[in-house]
Structure 1
Amino acid sequence: MKNTLPYLFAGGLALLAAGAAQAEKRTLVISAYPIAQPLFAKHVYEPFKARCGCDIVVETGNNADRIAKLEAHRASPVIDLVLLSDFGMLEAANKGLVAPLDYARLKNYGQIYNFAKNPIGGNFAVGYTIYSVGLVYRSDKVSGIKSWQDLWRSDLKGRISLPDVSTTQGPLMLQMADLAWGGKGDDYATGMQKITAIKNNVVTFSKNSAQLSSLFAQDEIWAAPVARFTWSQLLKTGMPLKWAIPAEGQAAGMNVMGIVSQSKNADLAYQLIDFWLSKEVQTALAMDLVDSPVNQQVVLPKDKAEFNTYGAEQIRSLKFVKPELILKQRSNWIAQWNKAISK
């Protein structure tokens, strides 16, 4: 009878090796916004999984809920990479929930706009997309818009929508109103006073961008501040709409990425950030109208460029609200708003 021990031993080693390989497959957990997740899976997650040989799990929600989860699991993180607004990331950084980044580990870092580099200070984040907020108006009803002050015109009384101050775009609108009317302080008091003065002219203070499509489609409003990423949806209303870049510029917002403190998968998170910032991925997302690119090497055809915050004119016009200012003033703005406008 042949000695079968060597074969059994070899077979056992093979099974152990297979089990070890299976055990080595790692999972990167991402906290992100819920919007456009199928397209992020197509252009970011699935291609990256093929590269890294890892799995990706995505948890979604708004800024506040996701920051709260990071805080609840501070001692033993369950998230590796978090995507937030710039001021949301600053809040997380102030709470010690994200770790400083080593930008030298990102080979595509040199290709992005300067404003996307270290956007909240302290090396805690990198910008991955921007958006502009300009003014959209009905060209058949309005003679044209050249300034944010035009929202106060008598012919637009009862025909405008403005963002609620509690939304992401609310502080951006406050900034532009303050800038247009000569405000000087960082509390945007002039902007708040001017908006309060025309509150009865506003059809609604919108809580989300989806409301604007209905308001324009139903002929309820003729002008409104609009985020560039919703422009293509507004045009589907069939109304004669035009986009205006006012003389004072456009409000601008930025979403950023950060690595959670004590993440056990920080190396994978760095790899995914770099992949996300690459010309190829940024181009793919812009072409599908998911996110406007921060990589300066992205080149878009005219029909796609129109719906992104892209090109020299758009970039020059951007006016960012400092994230630290939003954190400092947000509760005060909401209190004033509730007293003067929401009552």
Structure 2
Amino acid sequence: MRKTLGAIAILMAGTSLAQAEGVLQLYNWGNYTSPELLAKFEKETGIKVTVTDYDANDTALAKIRAGGHGYDLVVPSANYVPIFRDGGLIVELDRSRLKNFGNIAPEWMDVAWDPGRKFSVPWQWGSTGMAVNTKVYGGDINTSAIFLDVPEELKGKINVVPEMSDIVNFAIWYVGGEACTEDTEVLKKARDVLLAAKPDWLSMDYGATERLANNDWAASVNWNGSSMRARILNPDVAYGYPKEGYPLFMDSVTLLADAKNVDEAYQFIDFIMVPENAAMISAFARYANGIAGSDEFMPEDMKTAPEVVTPEEFKAAGNFLPTCSPKSQEYLTAIWTELMK
């Protein structure tokens, strides 16, 4: 009997090891990872990628900090990369294992949030703005008033994405402050504007692409790529760039310090820096990427899309959010906590 149980234990251990080989756990934003890319990667490498979605940077950060998650790669936005790095949650990349590292476009190499790209490689980048159904509302959409001083036509019909940094800083810009401010007077004004506006919102949810396309929502604070996807399905959807200020973002792939499938992770990181593969990521989610040479593989409709090509008059209002100081982050979190009640 002992011999039989021992044989079974060995067999089970062997099966477990076999299951652990050739797999990769990717923790990424929802509806953001190209199925075609994953199929191509699996075909070329034999590695099966499992994608787990999240809806906000803070959601991902809390999950990783808690440990025991089982993920290998995570895709934080620019202002969160230093938080992951300084918290010891991600590790410096071994460039000797990344033959395609040189494909990162020069303008995305020495970035403020990761100088020299020691810890991250580009996934996609874009902006957060206002997506509005122009059949419902025909006024100015290039303003944060769309959700902070909601027009009558949009009351009870607008969604606000649950991304703290974007939403609170939108309000800070709207009242004349600077992103990640520690000015308590400005922060109080931003808080008051948000709390006063919330009763006019329908929801605070992530899935804007489908709900804008289906006319479930008449407007949403939303990301540009998602807004383009909604417009393709519903031509009445237009994307606005708030003149008071709006966030730019770049989401980047990072290797978690407690990753189990490290070899597979490096193969995936290297794979997404091939120009044709980077274009495949963009073609699905409709955001620009940071890989040189990918333009020739990009969908034609992205090359002139108003959601991707920012109108000249609104370029100056777009800014990458800095990583907030601990004091500023505490204030923003307090505002967000009150808003979410």
Same fold (TM over 0.5): yes
Structure 2: distance between partners of 1:65 and 1:242: 29
Structure 1: gaps of 5 or more residues: 1-18
Q: Is the 8 A contact 1:28 1:80 kept in 2?
A: no
Q: Pick from 110, 114, 118: which aligns with 1:121?
A: 114
Structure 1: distance between partners of 2:268 and 2:41: 7
Q: 1:234 to 1:183 in 2, by over 3 A?
A: same
Shift of 1:281: 0.9
Q: 1:127 to 1:152 in 2, by over 3 A?
A: same
Structure 1: distance between partners of 2:265 and 2:30: 21
Q: Pick from 96, 104, 109: which aligns with 1:111?
A: 104
Q: 1:316 to 1:279 in 2, by over 3 A?
A: farther
Q: 1:198 to 1:278 in 2, by over 3 A?
A: same
Task: State the partner residue of 1:182.
Answer: 176
Task: State the partner residue of 2:301.
Answer: 303
Q: 1:271 to 1:250 in 2, by over 3 A?
A: same
Q: 1:103 to 1:192 in 2, by over 3 A?
A: farther
Structure 2: gaps of 5 or more residues: 1-13
Structure 1: distance between partners of 2:148 and 2:51: 41
Task: State the partner residue of 1:81.
Answer: 73
Q: Is the 8 A contact 1:99 1:260 kept in 2?
A: yes
Q: 1:336 to 1:200 in 2, by over 3 A?
A: closer
Give the letter for the 1:148 counterpart: S
Shift of 1:157: 8.0
Q: 1:206 to 1:109 in 2, by over 3 A?
A: farther
Which protein is bigger by CA-based radius of gyration?
1
Shift of 1:273: 1.1
Task: State the partner residue of 2:256.
Answer: 260
Shift of 1:328: 5.6
Alignment of 1:140-179 (within 5 A): 140=135, 141-148=137-144, 155-156=151-152, 159=155, 161=158, 163=160, 167-168=162-163, 170-179=164-173
Shift of 1:297: 3.0
Task: State the partner residue of 2:206.
Answer: 209
- Give CA deviations for 1:28-69 in whole Å, capped at 9, x if unaligned: 4223236348x63421x33233433x4234251436467645
1:284 aligned counterpart, secondary structure: helix
Structure 1: distance between partners of 2:144 and 2:196: 18
Shift of 1:321: 1.1
Q: Is the 8 A contact 2:147 2:221 kept in 1?
A: no
2:40 aligned counterpart, secondary structure: helix
Structure 1: distance between partners of 2:279 and 2:209: 27
RMSD across aligned C-alpha pairs, in angstroms? 4.3
Shift of 1:108: 4.1
Shift of 1:310: 3.5
Q: 1:113 to 1:84 in 2, by over 3 A?
A: same
Task: State the partner residue of 2:131.
Answer: 136
Aligned positions, number: 311
Tell me the percent identity: 15
Q: Pick from 44, 50, 60: which aligns with 1:51?
A: 44
- State the TM-score, normalized to the length of structure 2: 0.69
Structure 2: distance between partners of 1:308 and 1:327: 36
1:33 aligned counterpart, secondary structure: strand
1:172 aligned counterpart, secondary structure: helix
Structure 2: distance between partners of 1:273 and 1:93: 17
Q: Pick from 84, 92, 100: which aligns with 2:84?
A: 92
Shift of 1:81: 2.9
Q: Which stretch of structure 1 is more off in the superposition, 85-94 or 254-263? A: 85-94
